[in-house]
Structure 1
Amino acid sequence: MKAKTATILYRVFTLPFAAFMLFGGYAELSHSPEGEAIMRHLGYPLHVLDVLGVAKLLGALALLQPWLRTAKEWAYAGFTFNLLGACVARAAAGDSLMLIVSPLLFLTWMAFSYLFWKKRQAQRFAAEVPAEGYRAPLRAVVAAG
């Protein structure tokens, strides 16, 4: 896959997912009546909305920034835990199959974002490695030495 194709696919999957998480984080922080009803239905205290809202906002911002790779890895991990937890919470509450499976659809979408981000990283790393690899400079030092 060409680098340009990987970049386009990364953006196609990442931008909508990050936007969804930004809107979700805002909705949770605003304590919408629907969000509060869902939290009560699932058996969570309402302050969980604040925690999830802040986490989603920070995670979405981490996905959108290009500099801090570790923050991006943590954001992907956090969203994975959030979406798997949502799936389990829906199942434990006895919700319909569609409500149980819907977080997994978002998780799949996010997995493609992660896959293409890693592909872009690998392509950038390969472009930075000299043709003779990393051992060539070491051989020169040993031979000189």
Structure 2
Amino acid sequence: MKKLTTWYWIATITFALMMIMDGFGGVTQQEAGKEVLKHLGYPMYMLIIVGIAKLLGSLSILQNKYTTIKEWAYAGFAINFIGAFASRAFVGDGVSLLIPPLVALVMMFIPYILWKKVKQMLKIVKTK
């Protein structure tokens, strides 16, 4: 149980830090983000909206009190990564630009699955 919990926190903190950095980049409207949005045809204010959502989502997955909010945060990240993949595909980007959103999606599922396993283990421990 302790090993599983440790791996859960390592994966969760790593993923949350990645999303915090990306969210901060969006909120501060970094040039790389602006170029991507322009290329994809999205308005520039999307950087701030998605950046704030990533910051709030990161805080949500780091807490364990409000599980529904945590579920919604993971769902929001999944929608973001699937949307990024679809946007890249629709504008005709090559495979090298289609892979990163899928990698991010897989990386998101690691802490999510570990969280579910930890929750399940805690239920078993409590019933004993």
TM-score normalised by the chain length of structure 2: 0.96
1:13 maps to what in 2? 11
Uncovered stretches (5+) of structure 1, i.e. residues with no partner: 131-145
**Superposed displacement of residue 111, structure 1:** 0.6
Q: After TM superposition, which residue ranges in structure 1, 4 or more long, deviate above 3 angstroms?
A: none
**Superposed displacement of residue 12, structure 1:** 2.3
Q: Which amino acid aligns with 2:27?
A: L
Q: Can you list the C-alpha shifts for 1:31-52, whole angstroms capped at 9, x where unaligned? A: 1111111101000001111110
In structure 2, C-alpha distance between the alignment counterparts of 1:90 and 1:12, rounded to whole Å: 30
- Out of 29, 36, 42, which is 2:40 matched to? 42
In structure 1, C-alpha distance between the alignment counterparts of 2:49 and 2:124, rounded to whole Å: 39
- Out of 42, 53, 68, which is 2:51 matched to? 53
In structure 2, C-alpha distance between the alignment counterparts of 1:124 and 1:30, rounded to whole Å: 40
Uncovered stretches (5+) of structure 2, i.e. residues with no partner: none
Q: Please give the residue correspondences for 1:1-145 in structure 2 after superposition, counting only pairs within 5 Å.
A: 3-130=1-128
In structure 2, C-alpha distance between the alignment counterparts of 1:96 and 1:16, rounded to whole Å: 28
Q: Can you list the C-alpha shifts for 1:105-137, whole angstroms capped at 9, x where unaligned? A: 11111111111000000011111124xxxxxxx
Q: Which amino acid aligns with 2:16?
A: A
Quick check: which has more Rg, 1 or 2? 1
Q: Can you list the C-alpha shifts for 1:18-74, whole angstroms capped at 9, x where unaligned? A: 001001000001111111111010000011111101100000000111211111101
In structure 2, C-alpha distance between the alignment counterparts of 1:120 and 1:12, rounded to whole Å: 13
In structure 1, C-alpha distance between the alignment counterparts of 2:31 and 2:49, rounded to whole Å: 17
Aligned residues: 128
In structure 1, C-alpha distance between the alignment counterparts of 2:62 and 2:70, rounded to whole Å: 8
RMSD: 1.0
